[in-house]
Amino acid sequence: MPSASPLADIARLATPRFNWTRAEVKAVHDAPFADLVHAAGSVHRIHHRAGEVQKSQLLSIKTGGCPEDCGYCNQSARFDTGLKASKLMAVDTVIEKAKKAREGGATRFCMGAAWRSLKERDEPQICAMIEGVKALGLETCMTLGMLEEGQAERLKSAGLDYYNHNLDTSPEYYRDIITTRTWEDRIETLGRVRSAGIKVCCGGIIGMGESADDRVGLLTELASLDPHPESVPINHLVQVSGTPLSGSEPLDGLDFVRAIATARIIMPKSVVRLSAGREGMSKELQALCILAGAGSIFVGEELLTTPNPSLSADARLFEEMGLAAR
Ligand code: SAM
Ligand code: DTB
Ligand code: SF4
């Protein structure tokens, strides 16, 4: 007799669990595509309003010159990508950009720095940015690399809502992608963020030449964080020439949708974010991701340093899908 489908019991799937095994996640991920997307959409509707998509906007507050060697990233000082490095941005400039993002419909402003870790001397400027952006009525998010004891608490006191720190890929593939820090370093910072009471934004990148097993491994690790990250960005690799991962085998679009749908099912209350890589996706592929439970996107014509769809292309996507912005 065939075993029961791992997707049969939607009510059970919609109850968060933290003990997913890799085999269980693989069974979800590898299910027939239509069953997977249908189950993901059904789980989504239990905890989220289908048809609502939250808009965040990114700003690179400190670009390039990073000492880390993340193989996907054009901001590493080790790769020749032609990116111009810059110093930490002035607080007033950040606030101006945040105002424009708010006018464009973003409700969260995510500030990213090409740092290995946050230095104490930069904290006052970073905290002033958080305070200023928060005062505009926007949600605040920062991604600044690793945090030491006490730093997360100080960011929280300034008004930080979310901290983004990605696991990026499976623990096994991690060391092929980044050699200058460990998986355990990542987990440690995530623990500090959580303990300080900041919401966790943690996800990964798909399309880096990883195997389907690596994608399942990443998703299993994300779902074993207890509580689950409130926000789970699923990025499609943006290939930048000069980085070691440029030239990676292109990913089948439906495999990207599988990753989104699996994240949706195994972390049912989290907001799954269709993050980097939309510029290279058709409208139809983005629509499938949204049907599979993606509830957030980045808007604005630039992510941190690479292009993102135009405001008019996104307006068309929302209009044609009948989506409401949140
Ligand atoms: N330096 C900090 C760090 O790495 O934690 C914060 C900024 S870093 C640019 C934030 C995240 O962006 C990375 O963890 C990675 O997941 C994502 N990212 C960077 N370059 C990317 C690319 N080319 N394509 C897709 N995602 C990318
Ligand atoms: C995340 O997971 N995706 C965003 C945000 N966190 C910081 C960053 C994507 C960066 C894409 C490459 C770039 O534009 O530099
Ligand atoms: Fe530096 Fe972050 Fe890019 Fe890695 S992903 S090289 S840590 S900016």
Atom of ligand 3 nearest to the CA of 66: 1
Burial-class residue 215 by CB neighbours within 10 Å (0-12, 13-18, 19+).
Answer: buried
Residue 75 parent element (H or E): none
| Mean pLDDT, rounded, for 268-274 | 98
**Catalytic annotation, pick one of 127, 141, 202, 289:** 141
145 lines ligand 3 (CB under 6 A): yes
Q: What's the pLDDT at 4? A: 77
159 Ramachandran zone, left/alpha/beta (phi>0; psi -120 to 50): left
Spatial distance between the Cα atoms of 28 and 266, rounded to a whole number of angstroms: 9
Instruction: Quick: pLDDT tens for 76-90.
Output: 999 999 999 999 999
Q: What's the pLDDT at 184? A: 96
| Mean pLDDT, rounded, for 154-166 | 98
Looking at the chain, the whole-number percentage of residues with pLDDT higher than 90 is: 98
Q: What's the pLDDT at 16? A: 97
Q: What's the pLDDT at 326? A: 87
Instruction: Quick: pLDDT tens for 15-53.
Output: 999 999 999 999 999 999 999 999 999 999 999 999 999
294 lines ligand 2 (CB under 6 A): no
Which residue owns the Cα nearest ligand 1 atom 11? 166
Annotation marks residue 110 as catalytic: yes
Spatial distance between the Cα atoms of 241 and 246, rounded to a whole number of angstroms: 5
Q: What's the pLDDT at 2? A: 55
Instruction: Quick: pLDDT tens for 202-214.
Output: 999 999 999 999 9
Between strands 162-164 and 204-206, the pairing is unpaired
| Mean pLDDT, rounded, for 275-282 | 97
Residue 204's DSSP bridge partners are 168, 234
Residue 271's DSSP bridge partners are 231
Annotation marks residue 66 as catalytic: yes
Annotation marks residue 127 as catalytic: no
Q: Which residue has the tokens 């699996």?
A: 262
Q: What's the pLDDT at 193? A: 98
Between strands 204-206 and 271-274, the pairing is unpaired
Q: What is the domain partition of the chain in residue ranges?
A: 20-325
The mean predicted confidence, pLDDT, of the chain is: 97
Residue 273: is its pLDDT beyond 80?
Answer: yes
DSSP letter at 140 equals E
- Please, what CATH class does the domain formed by 20-325 belong to? alpha beta
164 lines ligand 2 (CB under 6 A): yes
| Mean pLDDT, rounded, for 301-318 | 97
Q: What's the pLDDT at 241? A: 96
170 lines ligand 3 (CB under 6 A): no
Q: What's the pLDDT at 60? A: 98
Q: Please give the distance, rounded to the nearest whole angstrom, from the Cα atom of residue 154 to the centre of ligand 3.
A: 22
Annotation marks residue 141 as catalytic: yes
Spatial distance between the Cα atoms of 326 and 110, rounded to a whole number of angstroms: 16
> Would you place residue 129 in the very low, low, confident or very high pLDDT band (cuts 50, 70, 90)?
very high
Q: Using an 8 Å Cβ cutoff, are 162 and 139 in contact?
A: yes
Which pTM was predicted?
0.97
Instruction: Quick: pLDDT tens for 194-247.
Output: 999 999 999 999 999 999 999 999 999 999 999 999 999 999 999 999 999 999
Instruction: Quick: pLDDT tens for 96-124.
Output: 999 999 999 999 999 999 999 999 999 99
